[in-house]
């Protein structure tokens, strides 16, 4: 009977040590994220970075047009908000690593809230949903991916 408890205790101890070691060893940082989830009104889209990069040969700059040499890409919502509301205007400046990025849309680096006549023309800047949809659908149409009204639910969850 004691032999049985010894075996169970040894197995539990090995599992515990394995869990601690697995938790303690940091995961290797992936150059390309495996996937991201895009929440939207058309239904969630699970986007596989790895599939698009490795299998389809997409380059980061094909989608991320904000890459500055030697820097990480900005989150899409830094420039393409869900909507141009007060929350976006307040949080937007915090999304950039330095003031140089401001000059992509602004004539000068803003030092505070901008008067209405000095703000970029938001009619020419697509919202996040418009930007994704245009980019994804354009690429799908060009490269034979799911495209058209009947193809929506090949990417969007119902």
Percent of the chain exceeding pLDDT 90 equals: 6
Domain ranges of the chain: 36-154
Higher pLDDT, 123 or 18: 18
Considering the domain delimited by 36-154, tell me its CATH architecture.
Alpha-Beta Complex (3.90)
118-129 per-residue burial string, b: 16 or more CB within 10 A, e: under 16? eeeeeeeebbbb
**pLDDT at position 36:** 81
CA quadruple 26, 31, 37, 38: dihedral sign: positive
Confirm whether residue 140 is marked as ligand binding. Answer: no
Least confident of 25-29, 63-67, 70-74, 149-153: 70-74
**pLDDT at position 42:** 79
Would you call 58 exposed, middle or buried from its count of C-beta atoms within 10 A (0-12, 13-18, 19+)? middle
Confirm whether residue 76 is marked as ligand binding. Answer: yes
Q: Whole-model pTM?
A: 0.62
CA distance 24 to 32: 23
Confirm whether residue 102 is marked as ligand binding. Answer: yes
**pLDDT at position 119:** 78
User: Which residues, 6 or more positions from 89, have their beta carbon under 8 angstroms from its beta carbon?
Assistant: 113
**pLDDT at position 2:** 72
Confirm whether residue 152 is marked as ligand binding. Answer: no
Confirm whether residue 92 is marked as ligand binding. Answer: no
**pLDDT at position 152:** 86
Would you call 63 exposed, middle or buried from its count of C-beta atoms within 10 A (0-12, 13-18, 19+)? buried
- How far is the first Cα of the chain from the last one, in angstroms, to the nearest whole number? 55
Confirm whether residue 133 is marked as ligand binding. Answer: no
Confirm whether residue 60 is marked as ligand binding. Answer: yes
DSSP state of 33: -
Give residue-wise pLDDT tens across range 48-106. 888 888 888 888 778 877 655 556 677 777 778 888 888 888 888 887 777 777 877 78
Confirm whether residue 63 is marked as ligand binding. Answer: yes
Q: How confident is the model at residue 129 (pLDDT cuts 50, 70, 90)?
A: confident
């Amino acid at each position: 009977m004691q032999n049985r408890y010894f075996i169970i205790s040894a197995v539990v101890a090995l599992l515990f040590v394995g869990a601690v070691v697995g938790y303690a060893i940091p995961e290797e940082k992936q150059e390309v994220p495996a996937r991201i989830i895009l929440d939207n009104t058309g239904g969630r889209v699970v986007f596989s970075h790895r599939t698009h990069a490795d299998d389809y040969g997409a380059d980061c700059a094909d989608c991320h047009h904000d890459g500055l040499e030697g820097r990480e890409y900005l989150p899409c919502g830094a420039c393409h908000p869900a909507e141009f509301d007060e929350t976006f205007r307040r949080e937007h400046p915090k999304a950039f690593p330095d003031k140089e990025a401001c000059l992509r849309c602004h004539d000068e680096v803003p030092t505070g809230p901008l008067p209405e006549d000095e703000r970029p023309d938001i009619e020419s800047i697509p919202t996040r949903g418009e930007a994704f949809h245009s980019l994804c659908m354009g690429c799908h149409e060009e490269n034979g991916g799911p495209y058209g009204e009947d193809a929506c639910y090949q990417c969007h969850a119902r």
